[in-house]
Chain A
Amino acid sequence: MFQFINTLLIGITSGAIYALMALAIVLVWRSTRVINFAQAGQALASTYFGYQALQYIDSFWIALIIAMAGGAILSALIEVIFMRILLKHTTSGAIAGVAPIIATLGLLEIIRTLVTLKWGGADVIVKAPLSNTGFSIGSNTLVFSPMKLAIIAVVTVLLLVFSVIFQKTSIGLSLRASAFSPELARLAGIRVDRIRTLGWAFSGATGAVAGLLLVTNGNGSLSPASLEFSLLLISGFIAAVIGGLESLLGSVVGGVALGIITAFVLMYISDSLFFIAPFVVLLLVLFIRPQGVLGKKGGRRA
């Protein structure tokens, strides 16, 4: 029982981080129909923004907000400078749907290189604001720690803020309308180009939180070559697919589900399955329910 609860809590914590990455991927997918591989690089760079901020200030939480702002600006710039032009110039032929996605792979490497040039290739440490020592129950010590609890709290707050923005404000209505039907959105007077940039900015800010929380959930070490960010991207993508790739709620459900499943596989089956467990989940979802757990059958036009 103790081990079960421990595993569940670990799973929920990493699942919450996957959920943020999935959300970042879905926000871009919905606004631009691009799977943005550069998201891993953007999260990496944003985490370094947070690291840099921590050199001048003490508060991790203010550094987190600075990282979000930096991530949002970086993401908006990528949309305005690269995506807008690529999408305009590749409207027909076999390359049309593919060019922007390949371009994001290129961007991923460019960002990684720039980060290495700026901050060097060696590990730096982002100090967690709270203890990573687990809570104790009687004589047993959980892996679940105050930091992990804070991660779940941050993600929950962020999701609540997002859902208020999306469901209750006219900015949110503009974002949803532009995602579902750009043409009707334009006819309603929405400047869809700007809304698209805003969608990317939200995505960048979300990815920044995912990056910083990922590092502080681990041992705090950060380096441009870190495999963790690539894994974060893959987990986020798989979580987004589980959720149906369209749905914001679905990506959250997908992320948490993936985190829990992976944690249980590692604990109860074998930790050598760490790298392949998410892929097995992806394949199962694609076989059994390709539209995603919360996706609708038939789906929408792409």
Chain B
Amino acid sequence: MSLEVRNLTVNHGAITALSDISFTVPEGELVAIIGANGAGKSTLLRTLSGLKDASHGTATWKGHNLLSGKAETHVRQGVAHVSEGMSVIPELTVEENLDLGAIWRRNKSEAATTKAEVFDLFPRLQERINQSADTLSGGERQMLAIGRAMMSKPQLLLLDEPSLGLAPLLVKQIFDAISNISRQYGLSVVLVEQNAMGALKIASSGIVLNLGRVAMTGTSQELISDPAVQAAYLGY
């Protein structure tokens, strides 16, 4: 089960945000999408999760074209999207945010098992189970956002800048957690990041987006050692 994106074009009104994007995420692999602000990274994820309409192209997952469905049906196909900027609902408690992730699942005892797994992954969330989400620190919120996504038992995880606004030590923890989750559950992951080095370190391959186009693709190792990538995105 892989994600196949072919010739994807997305417009914001008259502006082309993404132009003719093609790439593959093989089953169980973590692919990093890097690029500057405005490169179209978030738009790409929002289109894949059904929040934004595409103008052209296909994105095939488990035989379904993700571009023709709605966001509320994608989660039932095993797609979970953690959108940019701590995607939790601050007015709800930690537990309610997690329950929200599993709200469409009919089998509530299975959902309870998943919740226990999420607490194993992020024990901090269990300590704060009844606190409202707006009392959490930035790192805890990001754990909650990822935990909420895990509650839907996804097979494809779309992560939008999970390191945004976190202290360096926390950034490492979050990247480690993502890497573990991906390996442990055999999840396919699309990881959008401005922290290119952090993302490429845990990814098997990467895609560089520039002004809405694919500028470069390769294995993480190839990209990390590429002089052009180093100069533009890795800060060497």
Which residues of A line the B interface, CB within 8 A? 170, 173-174, 176-177, 180-181, 183-192
Contacts and interface: CB of A to CB of B under 8 A. Distances in A.
A188 B83 contact: no
A70 to B, nearest CB: 30
Given A190-B72, A192-B72, A184 B91 contact: no
B188 interface: no
Nearest to B46: A183
A82 B75 CA distance: 29
A189 B104 contact: yes
**Which of B71, B81, B96 has the largest number of chain A CB atoms within 10 A?**
B71
B99 A189 contact: no
Contact of B51 (A183, A188, A190, A191): A183
B92 A180 contact: yes
A207 B52 CA distance: 37
Given A183-B83, A187-B75, A176 B103 contact: no
Contact of A188 (B50, B90, B104): B104
A191 B72 contact: yes
A190 B103 contact: yes
22 contacts: A170-B99, A173-B92, A173-B100, A176-B91, A177-B89, A177-B92, A180-B90, A181-B89, A183-B71, A184-B89, A184-B100, A186-B70, A186-B72, A187-B49, A187-B75, A188-B100, A188-B101, A188-B152, A189-B72, A189-B75, A189-B104, A192-B72
Given A170-B99, A174-B103, 15 more contacts: A170-B103, A177-B100, A180-B89, A180-B90, A184-B83, A184-B87, A185-B100, A186-B50, A186-B71, A188-B100, A188-B104, A188-B148, A189-B72, A189-B75, A190-B72
A176 B152 CA distance: 19
B103 A189 contact: yes
Interface of B: 49-51, 70-73, 75-76, 80-81, 83, 87-92, 96, 99-101, 103-104, 148, 152
Given A170-B99, A176-B92, A190 B87 contact: no
B206 to A, nearest CB: 25
A177 to B, nearest CB: 5
A19 to B, nearest CB: 21
Contacts of B91: 176, 180
A91 to B, nearest CB: 12
Contacts of A176: 91-92, 96
**Which of B51, B92, B152 has the largest number of chain A CB atoms within 10 A?**
B92
| Shortest 6 CB-CB contacts between residues of A and residues of B | A189-B104, A189-B75, A186-B71, A188-B100, A180-B91, A186-B72
Nearest to B90: A180
A156 to B, nearest CB: 25
A176 B133 CA distance: 14
A137 to B, nearest CB: 45
A125 B218 CA distance: 80
Contacts of A188: 75, 100-101, 103-104, 148, 152
Nearest to A179: B91
Contacts of A180: 89-92
A246 to B, nearest CB: 9
A181 B51 CA distance: 13
A71 B70 CA distance: 31
A181 B103 CA distance: 15
Nearest to A193: B72
Nearest to A188: B100
A190 to B, nearest CB: 6
A120 B88 CA distance: 52
Contacts of A183: 51, 71, 83
A190 B89 contact: no
A70 B75 CA distance: 35
A102 to B, nearest CB: 27
A181 B91 CA distance: 10
B109 to A, nearest CB: 14
Nearest to A170: B103
A299 B49 CA distance: 29
B225 to A, nearest CB: 36
Nearest to B102: A188
Contacts of A187: 49, 51, 71-72, 75, 80-81, 83, 87
Contacts of A190: 72, 103-104
A189 B71 CA distance: 7
Nearest to B91: A180
B72 A173 contact: no
Contacts of B99: 170, 173
**Which of B49, B50, B99, B103 has the largest number of chain A CB atoms within 10 A?**
B103
B221 to A, nearest CB: 33
A184 B99 CA distance: 13
**Which of A181, A185, A192 has the largest number of chain B CB atoms within 10 A?**
A181
A110 B89 CA distance: 38
Nearest to A185: B100
